[in-house]
Amino acid sequence: MAERRVTIGWAEGLHARPASIFVKAVTSTGVPMTIAKETGTPVNAGSMLGLLALGAEGGETVILSASAEGAEAALDRVAKMVQEGLDELPAA
C-alpha cells in the first residue's frame, strides 16, 4: 500500500469548499483512497461525509493511502494539491 503524509495547506482545513475540491479530485483520479489523521481511523477519501467527519484542520498532518494500480502517481497529485492548498488537481 502506498501512502503519503501531508500537511493540509488550506487554512480552513478540509471543510466546506476545500473538502468539495478534495473529494472531486480524489474521484477524478479513479484510484480509491483513504485519508486519516495521524492517530485516527482511515475514511474513504472520496466521501464528503467521511471527510467532514474526519475534522481535519489547516496545518494538521493527514495520511493518504491507496493500493490500486496507479496509486503512486494519484497520491502524488492529490498530496501536492492538499499541501499547497490548490483549487484543482495538478497535471499528471
- List 2, 3, 15, 47, catalytic entry: 15
Q: How many whole angstroms separate alpha carbon 62 and alpha carbon 58? A: 10
Tell how far CA 91 is from the center of its chain: 16
Task: Confirm whether 42 is a catalytic residue.
Answer: no
Q: Nearest 5°: phi and psi at 17?
A: -60, -50
Compute how many other C-beta atoms are within 10 angstroms of the C-beta atom of residue 64. Answer: 24
Cβ(51)–Cβ(23) below 8 Å: yes
Residues serving a catalytic function are 15
